[in-house]
Chains A and B, each alone.
Chain A
């Protein structure tokens, strides 16, 4: 999953276009409820089940895309 795909997911969940690969989810209005919707979107797109902790340690599209890549490998 590319960082761009992840940026799209963040944009959809946060309902803002102001998301780049380095935007921190929790500093951009994201909370735990919205965070789960990033996880379900990733699971739908890639069949990868991330945990909420994954989002806490990798809160940007770039970092979370890395995480997906390492889990899928």
Chain B
């Protein structure tokens, strides 16, 4: 490897951050706070990355991307407090709707439990918990039995381990909701790692007392906007980075607007996008592979004048075995106003749905919402956010590591390449795939640069 060795000891008084999502902005804010000369180069014409706000009614914002957080997300909560942002609780009062039994009508049921065999689902969660606990979360490739778990897809695992039709039916829905993956997309090791990293099955799944306890008041994008406002003109939009060239005295980062020179770089993009940057000297190993896939999530918002389903005693929460809306949740603002029904289209269904023209997407989503919530009129607003094909995210919630990926890529995800350091939720073994993981990765990358001095 021909990376200049002097880089390891040189003081980084100037840093370029590639990507103005939560990870990049967190790192940039930390560095700016230490007096480092920071430039953030963002490909899009907005900040926020996989958080994005849509104003669905005057003053009412829906989260088109990442939305939820819980009390364990301490890095996120601290940044929010510094930025003057508040949490709003997710509400889940009233009956749920389930369309999982093949009956002509959906079932109304109190709580979040579907009309499936409790014993069968318990056996599924027992098996998932067992494999989840076996993972060495800080270095999944060192997990006992890592080779076998890394070689097998979650679909193969389910085929082998799940006997009851109800657990076989529910497993893909659960995985879609938890990590926006179809079972064939991810290795067992990645599935188990993801669940463990997020705090375990119960925490990751729960609304109250779990990872979906709150939303950010006014929308998750406001945090990135607040961080960006603090950085001012050091954040440069519409600057997709194409090349990163290191030499004995520094780094040249080439983007749409020209070349930026700095002592060091933090690349805070998903690994698949980072691998498309032309590094010179080249990376010693890639950070994504042929089986690394995009998180498969399309988010749909149906906007109503108010949360009409609540009048019928329904919470807005639903789970369906057939798409496109595999689950729905009431994301209406806390202070009254618009009724926002968020639909999650995940896994294979997301790929199919994303390929449809908007009119067909709308027809399918509205028809399904009407079946789930009787007498629900046509929405007054309709929004589709396709993350699967988004050129500057390549998936959401996060990269999906397929068979072979963790063993091949794992050690390289965070290892600096000379003056190049890495951030992004995929580089955090704590809360991987979540906003919290992005924030923690940003703090870590900034701390690495401080340690170089």
Contacts and interface: CB of A to CB of B under 8 A. Distances in A.
Contact of B119 (A32, A34, A36, A56): A36
B125 A36 contact: yes
Interface residues of A, number: 20
Interface of B is mostly: helix
A34 B376 CA distance: 33
Contact of B202 (A31, A38, A43, A55): A31
Q: Name the 7 nearest CB pairs between A and B, nearest first.
A: A40-B122, A36-B122, A52-B118, A32-B113, A39-B118, A36-B121, A43-B119
29 contacts: A31-B202, A31-B205, A32-B111, A33-B125, A33-B202, A33-B205, A34-B202, A35-B118, A35-B122, A36-B119, A36-B121, A36-B122, A36-B124, A37-B125, A37-B126, A39-B118, A39-B119, A39-B122, A40-B118, A40-B121, A40-B126, A43-B122, A49-B117, A49-B119, A50-B119, A51-B117, A52-B118, A56-B110, A56-B111
Contacts of B121: 36, 40
A32 B122 contact: no
Interface string B207-225: 0110000000000000000
Contacts of A32: 111-113
Given A32-B112, A35-B113, A40 B202 contact: no
B213 to A, nearest CB: 12
A59 B201 CA distance: 21
Contact of B206 (A31, A37, A43): A31
Nearest to A30: B202
Nearest to A36: B122
B123 interface: yes
Interface string A18-45: 0000000000010111111111111100
Interface string B406-426: 000000000000000000000
